[in-house]
Chains A and B, each alone.
Chain A
Amino acid sequence: MNRTFSRRRDRLLVYRSMRENKLSSTRRTKCPECGEESADLEWERGLQVCPRCAFHSPIGAYYRLSTILDPGSFQELEEKLVPADPLAFPGYPAKVAGLAESTGLSDAAVAALGRVEDHRAVFVVLDSRFLMGSMGTAVGEKVTRAVEHAEKKKLPLVIFSASGGARMQEGIFSLMQMAKTAAAIQRFQSRGGLYISCFTHPTTGGVTASFASLGDVILAEPGALIGFAGPRVIEQTIGEKLPEGFQRAEYLLDHGFLDQIVPRDQWRAVLAQLLALHEKGGRT
């Protein structure tokens, strides 16, 4: 039943993006991972997972929410939060203005109230198109307010991370967002809140070292790069190439840092199951 429904929904999504992006059945896109070309239609049908090698290509925050939430249940939270410029960093305001224009985002995070198979939750999704999903003051504030909203409404919290870490352009204020978000999560959890953290490709630095690693349940997409230090920094430090698969989701699973790896088309089912399992008294 749910499976049928979700297939139909996926198909609808394809049609919608065909309409909106003039997706043509003949255009082909090369996979950055395996180098093979596939038709855009196939990419779209697979929710931007490579039809050849199953590479989970990064996707935007609104798009991800559209693949997970029940249709019509999306209600955006705190959409007006915009980046601060505490260092008066040269070129930063122009940069974020340009990105806001091209992506339609106010910063690298989208927060929303929504439902997954009728289970309500608060969602935050980071978007790597906006300065690599880095966390400055607006992202930190949005995550924190989303946590507070979940706490106030006694709702579970689901966060999808994709981030290069603390945002350099906002300096020490970005660093402090790590403490702020971790503290908010800690308080939320100590009061009984359920927090499901979902790592997507790539998540490193200050986001890995704060809220993303604090989930009651921690999940990741296949192949996602997850770490504290980025691979290039590590290679420079140790002076050698890193082994294949290092810092990938499968590696973290092996080392005990993930509960499960979830393919992109399974998020709805997995989240619905977890949300149901945490409802008071279970579902009857």
Chain B
Amino acid sequence: MSRYTPEEKVKLARHPDRPGTADFIQALFTDFFEQRGDRLCREDGSILGGIARFHGRPVTVVGHRKGRSLEENLVCNFGMPGPEGYRKAQRLMRQAEKFGRPIITFVDTPGAYPGTEAEERGQGEAIAQCLALMSALTVPVIAVVTGEGGSGGALALAVANRVLMLEHAVYSVLSPEGFASILWKDSSRAGEACSVMKLTAQDLRRGGIVQGVLREPEGGAHTDWEAVFRTVDAALVKELAALDKLKGPALAKQRYDMFRAMGQDLPLAREEEP
């Protein structure tokens, strides 16, 4: 499984030709109806979402969108949402709850955007509300970390019953650059940060943070999109079938209990005996 070092995985996870949310939606769903806007302030292109059919069944789908061309990148702010994006996501998820649709999210962001307007309009509050809302949903929620799972901006779409990760995707408390900059005051030590952060899908599976790791083709997801789509599709079908066995309150409870247990039973920070 570990043909690649954590640092190489970060590069693969950020590969510009890696399939993104828009590609997954197009390949895995039919009848996609995009929903735009947060109804409060404006539309945020860095979150793509709407209603679609998954194997014939209506679902709500939401994900980070980075965009592929430079023009798209700019519209999508390179996949870094502002509060409007998170509030749009909340709106879509509330509707999913109302109409009893399962929610499927695709996580791929360097992080929430650290800008003045985002702060002015309550970036922190918007993310916090996403976490609170998702934790109590009574519909099935499945999150797939497809590329970069950067910080709170990623978690805001990943409070799910099942969190799945592509084999070379990464998910971490902060970008390796930010981590190195905070702890060692030196962002050039990002490579070193990769190796201590335990940000690979395999590490996170062991830590109980994600519940499934999805195989990528040899060389990474960008080398064979069709293979990736087949894998993700099969995983979603399987997980959705399993979650369908749970009733609404049981779904909320399973999700709550899973996150409630995170961080318990870890080795304590004790100094070595001399």
Contacts and interface: CB of A to CB of B under 8 A. Distances in A.
A93 B270 contact: yes
B54 interface: no
B16 interface: no
By CB atoms of chain A within 10 A, which of B124, B159, B183 has the most?
A: B124
B60 to A, nearest CB: 19
A204 B121 CA distance: 15
Chain A residues touching B, range: 35 or more
B125 A182 contact: no
A257 B118 CA distance: 13
Nearest to B187: A236
A212 to B, nearest CB: 8
Interface residues of B, number: 55
A214 B136 CA distance: 14
Contact of A176 (B136, B198, B262): B262
B255 to A, nearest CB: 8
Interface stretch (B89-97, B168-176, B226-234): B168-176
A84 B266 CA distance: 6
Contact of B125 (A90, A169, A186, A257): A257
A86 interface: yes
B207 A246 contact: no
B267 interface: yes
Contact of B119 (A177, A211, A229): A229
Contact of A171 (B119, B198, B256, B270): B198
By CB atoms of chain B within 10 A, which of A87, A167, A176 has the most?
A: A176
Interface in B143-158: 151-152, 155-156
Given A137-B266, A176-B209, A187-B256, A228 B123 contact: yes
Given A172-B171, A213-B124, A228-B127, A85 B269 contact: yes
A86 B269 CA distance: 8
A204 B112 CA distance: 13
Interface string A78-90: 0000111111111
A234 interface: yes
Interface in A193-248: 204-206, 208-214, 226-229, 233-234, 237-238, 242, 246-247
B213 to A, nearest CB: 15
A173 B262 contact: yes
Nearest to B151: A175
A94 B266 CA distance: 17
B132 A88 contact: no
A97 B113 CA distance: 35
A178 interface: yes
Nearest to A176: B262
A87 B114 contact: no
A146 to B, nearest CB: 14
A183 B182 contact: no
A151 interface: no
23 contacts: A85-B270, A86-B198, A93-B270, A136-B263, A170-B173, A171-B198, A172-B204, A172-B207, A175-B173, A183-B136, A183-B159, A183-B255, A183-B259, A186-B132, A186-B136, A187-B135, A206-B152, A213-B129, A238-B115, A238-B116, A246-B116, A246-B119, A255-B120
Given A93-B270, A141-B263, A172-B197, 9 more contacts: A86-B198, A86-B266, A169-B183, A175-B152, A178-B155, A182-B128, A209-B112, A214-B128, A238-B115
> Closest 8 CB pairs between A and B?
A229-B114, A183-B135, A208-B124, A137-B263, A84-B266, A182-B131, A85-B269, A228-B124
